[in-house]
């Protein structure tokens, strides 16, 4: 069963394959139940097949973390401006973490980092109708109370590990949704420049020389811009500039 909270219709699951898959597969029923709610939220205690960016698996201990999907139907979001959705949810996560005394930065395109460790990941999946985004399912995986993770290349971190205190997952969700309401309102009003400026202000490596790796080599560069389509613009230390789409370059941490 679901319930309404402010502008959201919220449904809680004990366990599912992935909240994004569940939300997309049940979208018609959820929107019918949502009534006049502006967005749908599905969150689960656990996932059996959580998904991240680039086909990665999102690992999470049951009951320890925030695993949620927010479903929205933008009024008039052009497909070519879809990256604004990633900016809105990423900024909402940073704002929510700041409210809860956790300092974070964004790692392009939309990972949330505390220091050099990953705290949260985002997966946005779209359904489009012609030139407009008809529906977006925004998946969020946020490490809240988990303290032990399976071995992996990039060591994750959780809110509890950073603050030393356990957090109530539903409280964290509430803070995140309040933050997302603000940033989504900017998107709905067409204020893409403010979203873009705020995104760059929170971006790890913006105007700062750091190490990057593409399919050819590693090199030193600074971020000078993120285009409206999400492409990353780097200025190398030799003065040359390079532009990359998703998956074409990564920050070496």
pLDDT at 59 over 70: no
Whole-number Cα distances in Å, 155 to 54, 112, 115, 182 = 17, 13, 11, 31
> What is the residue extent of each domain of the chain?
2-201, 210-251
Q: pLDDT class for 225, splitting at 50, 70, 90?
A: very high
Residue bearing tokens 């997966």: 123
Q: What is the pLDDT of residues 87-107, one digit of tens each?
A: 999 999 999 999 999 999 999
Q: How far apart are CA 76 and CA 34, in angstroms?
A: 20
Neighbours of 127 (CB within 10 A): 12
pLDDT for 61 equals: 80
Task: Spell out the alpha helix ranges (H) of the chain.
Answer: 19-25, 27-34, 83-99, 159-163, 169-188, 192-201
Neighbours of 181 (CB within 10 A): 16
pLDDT for 36 equals: 92
pLDDT at 111 over 90: yes
Residue 162's Cα: distance from chain center in Å? 19
Across the chain, mean pLDDT equals 93
CATH of 2-201 among 3.30.930.10, 1.10.540.10, 1.25.40.10, 2.40.160.20: 3.30.930.10
Least confident of 4-8, 134-138, 143-147, 237-241: 4-8
CATH of 210-251 among 2.30.30, 1.10.3470, 3.30.160, 1.10.10: 2.30.30
């Amino acid at each position: 069963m679901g319930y309404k909270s402010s502008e959201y219709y919220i449904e809680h699951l004990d366990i599912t394959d992935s909240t994004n898959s569940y939300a997309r597969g049940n979208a018609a029923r959820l929107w019918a139940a949502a009534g006049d709610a502006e967005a749908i939220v599905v969150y689960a205690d656990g996932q059996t097949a959580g998904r991240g960016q680039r086909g990665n698996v999102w690992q999470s201990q049951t009951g320890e973390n925030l695993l949620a999907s927010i479903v929205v139907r933008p009024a008039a979001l052009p497909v070519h401006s879809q990256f604004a959705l990633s900016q809105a949810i990423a900024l909402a996560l940073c704002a929510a973490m700041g409210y809860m005394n956790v300092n974070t930065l964004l790692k392009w395109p939309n990972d949330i980092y505390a220091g050099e460790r990953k705290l949260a990941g985002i997966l946005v999946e779209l359904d489009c109708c012609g030139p407009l985004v008809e529906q977006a399912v925004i998946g969020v995986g946020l490490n809240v109370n988990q303290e032990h993770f399976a071995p992996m290349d990039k060591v994750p971190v959780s809110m509890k590990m950073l603050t030393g205190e356990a957090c109530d997952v539903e409280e964290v969700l509430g803070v995140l949704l309040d933050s997302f309401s603000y940033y989504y309102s900017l998107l709905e009003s067409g204020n893409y420049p403010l979203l873009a400026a705020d995104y760059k202000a929170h971006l790890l490596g913006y105007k700062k020389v750091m190490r990057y790796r593409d399919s050819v080599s590693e090199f030193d560069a600074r971020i000078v811009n993120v285009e409206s389509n999400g492409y990353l613009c780097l200025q190398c230390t030799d003065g040359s500039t390079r532009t990359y789409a998703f998956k074409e370059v990564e920050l070496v941490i």
